Amino acid sequence: MSPPAGSSPSNSLVSAIRCIFERDLRALSREVEAYPADDLLWRQVPGLTNVAGTLALHITGNVQHFLGACLGRTGYVRHRDAEFARRDVARATILAELELASEAVRAGLSNLRDAQLADDFPEVIGGMRFQTGDYLLHLTTHLAYHLGQVDYHRRMVTGSEQAIGAMRTAELSSAHSSEESA
């Protein structure tokens, strides 16, 4: 299977990281779309600290800040407290924010080269410095962690066992038909 439209196979680690961000943001959009009603995104579940709507807003703010503003110089200004305080945001608004997060991925990673992954990330985080590659890998796993939380929240509040195909390996940047290798 070929990579999604707009991506190109590459041996570049930056390309692989970009592809994973894009794949997981598409998966999060499918999760949000899979809720049968907007209000279910905000339904509290005993034992869960954050609901799907909050997690989606947090992910979009996180990606737009670290990839868009820090790496892509988009000018995005993050309001992290609002990511956790906002409630009853419409699904259409969340999906629009997810598209902006995808644009931030493109802005932040389009001009980044593998050699720059060893450089310090442009922002101090928690009083510490990290290599750009190390922090980008952290951010991909952070996104995947919250994506899994959204999946479980959706299944709990809807009672649905429907999978959305979140971790499609065929969407990795190096994916190609086994016949192409022969």
Tell whether the model's pLDDT for residue 182 goes beyond 60: no
pLDDT tens digits for range 80-124: 999 999 999 999 999 999 999 999 999 999 999 999 999 999 999
How many helices, marked H, and strands, marked E, lie in the chain?
6, 0
Tell whether the model's pLDDT for residue 1 goes beyond 90: no
Query: Where in 33-176 does DSSP place strands (E)?
Result: none
Tokens representing 131 are 């290599």
The position carrying tokens 């996104």 is 143
pLDDT at 6: 44
Task: Select the more confidently predicted residue: 147 or 1.
Answer: 147
Distances (CA, A) of 48 to 1, 52, 182: 37, 10, 48
Which one-letter amino acid corresponds to residue 79? H
pLDDT tens digits for range 32-82: 999 999 999 999 999 999 999 999 999 999 999 999 999 999 999 999 999
φ and ψ at 126, to 5 degrees?
60, 35
Tell whether the model's pLDDT for residue 137 goes beyond 80: yes
Q: Evaluate whether 179 touches 3 at the Cβ level (below 8 Å).
A: no
- DSSP 3-state of 131: strand
pLDDT tens digits for range 5-37: 444 445 699 999 999 999 999 999 999 999 999
Tell whether the model's pLDDT for residue 144 goes beyond 60: yes
Using the 8-state DSSP alphabet, how is residue 90 labeled? -
